[in-house]
Structure 1
Amino acid sequence: MTTKTPSRVPARLRLAALAVLPVLALTVACGGGDGVRAESADAIATAPGTTAPSKASSTPDGASAKPEGKSAFYDAQLAYVRCMRVKGGYKDFPDPKLSGHLDWGKVEEISSKPGQMEAAKGGKNGVCVPELRTVMDAEPQRDQQKSYESMLAHAKCMRDNGVSRFANPTMSGGNAQPGGDPSPASPVIDQNSPTYKQAREACRTKLLDGLDGMQ
């Protein structure tokens, strides 16, 4: 069964991001800002199905001009990355993958640093929330059965590698729901432990592109 689902982010960060989107959107609409001065963004990866130009043209903000032929999802993700670098205050925000999905492992690394939680929530003061919403709306449909099977294999791998309390995903209303910590509100799995980090690395290939960080 194929169902449209929101764009994926690291589980413990995305839930917080989604929860604050309405509030942040209102703040942005009312002119709220973080006072960060826009600076030149780094070049962003070439879109799928295109060839990198020999000399990329530039937009006024210094980012590479968007290449032709990319998907609406990649286009939206590119705009979000540019916003996060220029307005959001995260110059090291990673390029999107050629699939259009972000490398949420790198985003999680940035967000885990003191004072940088906003890297998973649309930037400081939600300055990039409109772009984040556009990304979520443009994400391609997923085969929910394949997503479930991928997350199930990942959960089993995590347990096999020492994280014994890692819960299986579930299916609800035809949509795959991630597993992971059985008590997200009061975590019982130490994600900073060496065992967890080693298991996460050993099992990362079990997750389909775009599901990385979901559980």
Structure 2
Amino acid sequence: MIFKTTSRSTSRLRLAAFVAAPVLAFSVACGGGDDGGGTKSHGIADAPDTPTAAESAEPSEAGQPAKSAGKKTRPAGKSAFYDAQVTFVQCMRAKGDYPEFPDPKLSGYLDWDKVNELGSQPGRNQGIKAGKNNVCLPELQAVMAVEPERDQQKSFESMLAHAQCMRDNGVSRFTNPTMSGGNAIPGGDPNPASPVLDHESPAYKKAERACKPKLIDSVAGMQ
């Protein structure tokens, strides 16, 4: 998802992970889940524990009760991704000059509604990708390194449904996503270099609200 920092439309922060491009692109819209609920507080939420196996009991000795050997752990893949995202968010708050940077969703992806809202504030878009002076770039790279593999067909279908919904709701020039080299490429503005869609117009915002449910977590914020 590719973006510029000088216009509202490109401040939608399209992730470049789909085209294997710059590191500064948030691969956060970075976990392999689909739709995940966002946390409501501004504190970092704990990742949910998930049992990996049923608790087992060791044979009792000398009449003592059997010992429970089971232990709850988070799924390895999503756990690493979520934890890396939490570290990135903490960096953005502590060093990146965004103390109110939103929690990641439990799926591991960022809450793009809140990130975009924060980045749309006057003078606050330039550092929204990796913090002031890219101070959180190492943490962002760590997130990208452990992001679970994205289902490109599912991503394409989600973005296609979203694009159709946007047109059905009055944004007639909203373009479809495409597939290139097995990767889903976001649609949206027909000319991102010189945007023709007004993201601030009441009509666009209304369509955006109506079509938000069409995007799964892994592609939220891409188009």
TM-score, L = length of structure 1: 0.73
3-state DSSP class of the match of 2:217?
coil
Q: How does 1:104-119 map to 2 (within 5 A)?
A: 104-119=112-127
Partner of 1:208: 216
In the aligned structure 1, how far is the partner of 2:182 from the partner of 2:192?
22
**Is 2:134 aligned against 1:126?**
yes
Amino acid at match of 2:105: K
**Is 2:86 aligned against 1:78?**
yes
- Asked if the contact 2:15–2:222 (Cα under 8 Å) also holds between the matched residues in 1, the reply is no
Q: Which has the higher helix share?
A: 1
Amino acid at match of 1:194: P
Q: Deviations over 1:174-205 (max 9, x none)?
A: 00000000000000110100000010000000
In the aligned structure 1, how far is the partner of 2:185 from the partner of 2:150?
13
In the aligned structure 1, how far is the partner of 2:181 from the partner of 2:106?
30
Against the structure 1 CA distance between its residues 16 and 44, is the aligned structure 2 distance closer, same or farther, given a 3 Å change threshold? Answer: closer
In the aligned structure 2, how far is the partner of 1:91 from the partner of 1:165?
36
Match of residue 104, structure 2, among 78, 93, 96:
96
Q: Which runs of 5+ in 1 are unaligned?
A: 23-41, 52-67
Count of residues paired in the alignment: 174
Q: Which runs of 5+ in 2 are unaligned?
A: 3-7, 26-41, 52-72
Partner of 1:44: 44
Give aligned-pair identity as a percent.
Answer: 62
- Asked if the contact 1:76–1:134 (Cα under 8 Å) also holds between the matched residues in 2, the reply is yes
In the aligned structure 2, how far is the partner of 1:50 from the partner of 1:16?
29
Q: CA deviation at 1:210?
A: 2.2
Q: Deviations over 1:126-183 (max 9, x none)?
A: 1101101111121111111111011000000000000000000000000000000000
- Asked if the contact 1:80–1:131 (Cα under 8 Å) also holds between the matched residues in 2, the reply is yes
Against the structure 1 CA distance between its residues 157 and 21, is the aligned structure 2 distance closer, same or farther, given a 3 Å change threshold? Answer: closer
TM-score, L = length of structure 2: 0.71
In the aligned structure 2, how far is the partner of 1:121 from the partner of 1:166?
24
Q: CA deviation at 1:211?
A: 1.1
Match of residue 69, structure 1, among 66, 71, 74:
74
**Is 2:141 aligned against 1:136?**
no
Stretch moving more, 186-195 or 119-128: 119-128
Partner of 2:10: 12
**Is 2:180 aligned against 1:175?**
no
Amino acid at match of 1:69: R
